[in-house]
Amino acid sequence: MNQELSVNLNELLSGERLSKESYNGKAEENMMDLAKDAQEGKNNKRRVGIIGAVCGILVLLLFIEFTIIFAGGIGGLYYYLDLPTLMMIVGILIGIELIAGRFRRFFRALIASIRNNVLLDDDSRKLYLQDLKFAIRSTVIASFFTALIGFINFLHTMSEPATIGANIGIITVSFFHGLVIVALIFALRERLKK
């Protein structure tokens, strides 16, 4: 097409005929404009990715909160919030990640899945997907450990009827917390696959 119209690429980009003297300057200017547009596109994709991840997490948290509130009222919310159990699950998860030597990569994978992942090369993406898959498995193991600890505590205090309900609650809420963490990591992993 350029040969038929006797127009070169820089003239097409600039929208005007270029003399031999102004050709190099205009070519450099066109290249700078293209590079600037490409960088702005990357920055916009990064912003959209972060905003999308934050909105997704907020919607998930609001959904969980409204479900809990409507299921048991405001007082029922406290049945699902057991900070020691949550800390135990997160502690075991972090311990597994540390022992496996994936602690730093796990957090890098989380950050990469929240940010724009279009900029990742295929090797990094595969590595981060493996790290998030390992984190999902570690979270399931951590929630089972926490439930097992709650079950052992339940057996220890079985002679006291007043503590039976609380101990059964700890056993079941550990699975709830584990599933919430798995759901978040799974969503971030799927986001990283794009």
189 shares a domain with 105 = yes
Is 125 a domain residue? yes
Considering only residues 34 and 179, tell me which one the structure prediction assigns the higher pLDDT.
179
- pLDDT of the residue at 62: 79
Write out pLDDT tens, residues 81-90.
Answer: 777 888 899 8
Write out pLDDT tens, residues 11-50.
Answer: 555 556 655 555 556 666 766 777 777 777 666 666 766 7
The percentage of residues in the chain with a pLDDT greater than 70, rounded to a whole number, is 66
Distance CA 144, CA 25 (A): 67
189 shares a domain with 160 = yes
- pLDDT of the residue at 135: 92
- Please report how the helices 164-193 and 83-100 are oriented relative to each other, as an axis angle in degrees rounded to 10: 50
Considering only residues 106 and 9, tell me which one the structure prediction assigns the higher pLDDT.
106
Mean pLDDT of 122-148: 91
Q: How many domains does the chain have?
A: 2
Q: What is the dihedral of CA 31, 37, 42, 43, to 10 degrees?
A: 130
127 shares a domain with 31 = no
- pLDDT > 50? residue 2: no
Q: How far is CA 23 from CA 12, 177, 194, in A?
A: 12, 64, 41
- pLDDT > 80? residue 138: yes
Domain membership of residue 168 as a residue range:
82-193
